[in-house]
Homo-oligomer: A and B are copies of this chain.
Amino acid sequence: MNTNEYISDAVIRRLPRYCRYLEELMDNGFTRISSDELSKRMGLTASQVRQDFNHFGGFGQQGYGYNVKTLHSEVAHILGIDHVHTVIIVGAGHLGQALANYPNFEKRKFHILALFDTNPSVIGTTESGLPVYPVSQLESFIKENNVDIGVLTIPKSEAVKMGTKLAECGIKGIWNFASTDLEIPGSDVIIENAHLSDSIMRLSYQLNNAEKA
């Protein structure tokens, strides 16, 4: 892989999708797949798939298509999900608890260590068995456990303050669910904003245009 090459956001957006489709192929016992077949399943063109993979060296399609397991390993490696990321969730409300229960994180080596909350009534243990600690223990926990990623499932009004705290404690990445494009000036923490309502607005767009068509 040529790490100096610029990879467009659109290509990067498709990587998790490739990963999911390849997992599904493995689960269904497929060992090889052609770019034609993969593209058909994903609603892309075969040349799009080949172009995408060429950004990363092509993944050596030989004879009949790609080896599914090898291809999955390569995509997982590019995504960095071939190694464990330690994760904490700040905000043990419904969304925090839902993420703590989500089976696909563990599968992708996102290892959730604990949840944190300011509300004393939720301190204890989640249904899934994870500890919920008071926010006062955040700093020592992050330093002792070398936490990579902090998930923010707290209100927008708290997001900058808590994000700044996470960054100061040495967290490398923030996955932000507070409905704002979180920015933490002067920090090199990497922030991914998960805007839930963007997805339902896209659904609305499609419904709206289906009605017109």
Q: Could you tell me which A residues sit within 8 Å of B by CB distance?
A: 3, 10, 12-13, 15-17, 19-21, 24, 78-81, 85, 93-95, 97-99, 101-105, 108, 110, 148-149, 172-173, 175, 179-181, 188, 190, 192, 194-210, 212-213
Do the beta carbons of B108 and A197 come within 8 Å of each other? Answer: yes
Do the beta carbons of B207 and A173 come within 8 Å of each other? Answer: yes
Docked complex Cα distance between A202 and B103 (Å): 18
- Residues of B contacting A199 in the complex (Cβ-Cβ under 8 angstroms): 175, 192, 194
Beyond contacts A10-B10, A93-B101: 8 other A-B pairs, Cβ-Cβ < 8 A, are A3-B209, A13-B198, A16-B202, A24-B180, A85-B204, A103-B179, A173-B204, A188-B210
Main secondary structure on A side of the interface with B: helix
Docked complex Cα distance between A175 and B199 (Å): 8
Contact of A15 among B15, B99, B201, B207 (CB under 8 A): B201
Docked complex Cα distance between A207 and B85 (Å): 10
Residue of B nearest to A8 (CB): B10
